[in-house]
Amino acid sequence: MSSSTPEPEAASNRGASPPAALVVAATSHSYGKRKALENVGFSVTQGSFSVLLGLNGAGKSTLFCLITRLFATQRGTIRIFGFDVNRAPSEALRRLGVVFQARTLDLDLTVMQNLSYHAALHGISGQATKLRAGFVLDQVKMADRAREKVRDLSGGQMRRVEIARALLHRPRMLLLDEPTAGLDIKARADILKHVRGLVASEGIGVLWATHLIDEIEPGDDVVVLHEGKILDRGNASEIAARAGAAGMGPAFTALTGAAGFEGEPK
């Protein structure tokens, strides 16, 4: 491309294992005395669906704040396609799409007006916006609602537009913070199916934060986060096998149960 900076992901290990879309290395964060994250490290490869599994208060939100650079990283490094979030924020953020837990769409504006605004935030305008917005809306099956006000959409449809919004600038890495919160079973399954479809068709890396175990499939990469620490990570079926459990649900209970009793007098 016109950019003179070499693409780190292209320079290193070309042809070997697929490049890491997101690398979180030895990251710790505390609010005053309370430690929110302790030595957290994992990576998400391009074209994989990774789940960040943890209960409320496990540190998922803090981690998302660090990856999206709302807070500076206190200790450790976070890289998106090789670009340090704190040292090269612009390059890193360009490659990242984020679906926040909170709604970011203006209810009074139409779907298209919302998308135009968010495209502008990435320097995209005019015809390019129209084409791109049409494409991403089509991907989440919302193309026929482009002219409607967001207020008139259902919760699940709004979420799908949020995903379309996050994809506008063609990110290769997508973060989703509890994207199915507050949705009914049907809408939840829909969203999950759409995002899994994106991984398969577009080859983007996805980090899906959730506390819902039934959103995990056996082949997914899972990072189990509990009270700011990673208890286990790897393939869901491997984690279950290591924990000696029949599935991810019992494995999670076993892992968090063990962590909970650790250090306590018996």
Partner 1 sequence: MSGSTASSTPGTQGLGLAQYAICLKGIVWREVLRYWHQRERFVSALVRPLVWLFIFAAGFRSVLGVSIIPPYDTYVLYEVYITPGLIAMIELFSGMQSSLSMVYDREMGNMRTLLVSPFPRWFLLTSKLAAGTAVSLAQVYAFLLVAYFWEIEPPSPWGYLTVLPALVLAGLMLGALGMLLSSLIKQLENFAGVMNFVIFPMFFASSALYPLWRVKEGSPWLATICELNPFTHAVELIRFALYEKVNFLALAVVLGAAIVFLGAAIAAYDPSRGMLRRREGP
Smallest distance, partner 1 to C-beta of residue 245, A: 32
Rank residues 169 and 233 by Cβ distance to partner 1 and give the closer one. 169
| Cβ–Cβ < 8 Å for 51, 221 | yes
Rank residues 7 and 227 by Cβ distance to partner 1 and give the closer one. 7
The yes or no reply on residue 46 touching partner 1 (CB under 8 A) is yes
Smallest distance, partner 1 to C-beta of residue 167, A: 10
Number of residues that bind partner 1 (CB under 8 A): 58
- In 116-217, DSSP assigns E strands to 173-177, 205-210
The yes or no reply on residue 182 touching partner 1 (CB under 8 A) is no
**Which residues in the 114-173 window bind partner 1 by CB under 8 A?**
116-125, 128, 132, 165, 169-172
Smallest distance, partner 1 to C-beta of residue 204, A: 9
Smallest distance, partner 1 to C-beta of residue 47, A: 8
**Cα dihedral sign, 59-236-182-180:** positive
Smallest distance, partner 1 to C-beta of residue 145, A: 18
Rank residues 160 and 169 by Cβ distance to partner 1 and give the closer one. 169
Q: How many CA atoms lie within 13 A of 169 on its CB side?
A: 21
The yes or no reply on residue 108 touching partner 1 (CB under 8 A) is yes
For the chain, first and last CA: distance in Å?
A: 61
| Cα–Cα distance for residue pair 121/110, rounded to 1 Å | 17
Pick the stretch among 100-108, 208-216, 224-232, 237-245 that binds partner 1 (CB under 8 A).
100-108
79-84 long-range Cβ contacts below 8 angstroms, 24+ apart: 79/20, 79/22, 79/23, 79/25, 80/21, 80/22, 80/173, 81/7, 81/8, 81/9, 81/19, 81/20, 81/21, 81/172, 81/173, 82/7, 82/8, 82/9, 82/12, 82/19, 82/20, 83/8
Place of tokens 């990570």: 233
Torsion from C-alpha of 56, 58, 62, 68, nearest 10 degrees: -80
Pick the stretch among 107-115, 190-198, 214-222, 244-252 that binds partner 1 (CB under 8 A).
107-115
| Cβ–Cβ < 8 Å for 169, 124 | yes
CA triple 54-20-167, angle to 5 deg: 75
Q: Which of 12, 13, 26, 72 binds partner 1 (CB under 8 A)?
A: 72
Smallest distance, partner 1 to C-beta of residue 186, A: 24
Smallest distance, partner 1 to C-beta of residue 246, A: 36
Residues near partner 1, by CB under 8 A: 1-3, 7, 9-10, 14-15, 19, 31-32, 34, 46-47, 62, 65, 68-72, 81, 86, 89-91, 93-96, 98, 100-104, 106, 108-109, 113, 116-125, 128, 132, 165, 169-172, 203
